[in-house]
């Protein structure tokens, strides 16, 4: 099986509105998104990033070391 590729993308979002930020803001605000960085990362780095975000590495079928699991 070919080795899986993983990527980390960092996006900056700026919201201009009359009220504090609301996730449902679609019509009453202006949103600008900028991709600041996209980089390829290893399975181990992906596992560490998922854990840091409070997610489980099994989300991408990898263990905590970044190894593929079935």
Residue 22's pLDDT is 67
Determine, yes or no, domain membership for 66.
yes
Residue 24's pLDDT is 66
pLDDT digits (tens), the chain, 70 positions = 567 899 999 999 888 888 776 666 667 788 889 999 999 999 999 999 999 999 999 989 999 999 999 8
Residue 14's pLDDT is 87
Determine, yes or no, domain membership for 16.
no
The count of domains in the chain is: 1
Determine, yes or no, domain membership for 32.
no
- d(CA 32, CA 34) in angstroms, rounded, equals 7
Structural domain for 56, as ranges: 41-70
Residue 8's pLDDT is 96
Please provide the DSSP assignment of 13-68 as one string.
EEEEESSS--TT-SSSEEEEEEEEEEEEE-HHHHHHHHHHTT--GGGGTB-TTS-B
Determine, yes or no, domain membership for 23.
no
Cβ of 62: how many Cβ atoms within 10 Å?
A: 20
């Amino acid at each position: 099986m070919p080795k899986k590729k993983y990527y980390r993308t960092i996006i900056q979002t700026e919201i201009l509105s009359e009220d504090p930020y609301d996730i449902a803001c679609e019509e009453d605000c202006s949103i600008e998104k900028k991709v600041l960085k996209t980089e390829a990362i290893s399975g181990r780095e992906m596992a560490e990033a998922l854990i840091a975000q409070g997610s489980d590495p099994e989300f991408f079928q990898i263990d905590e070391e970044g190894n593929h699991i079935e």
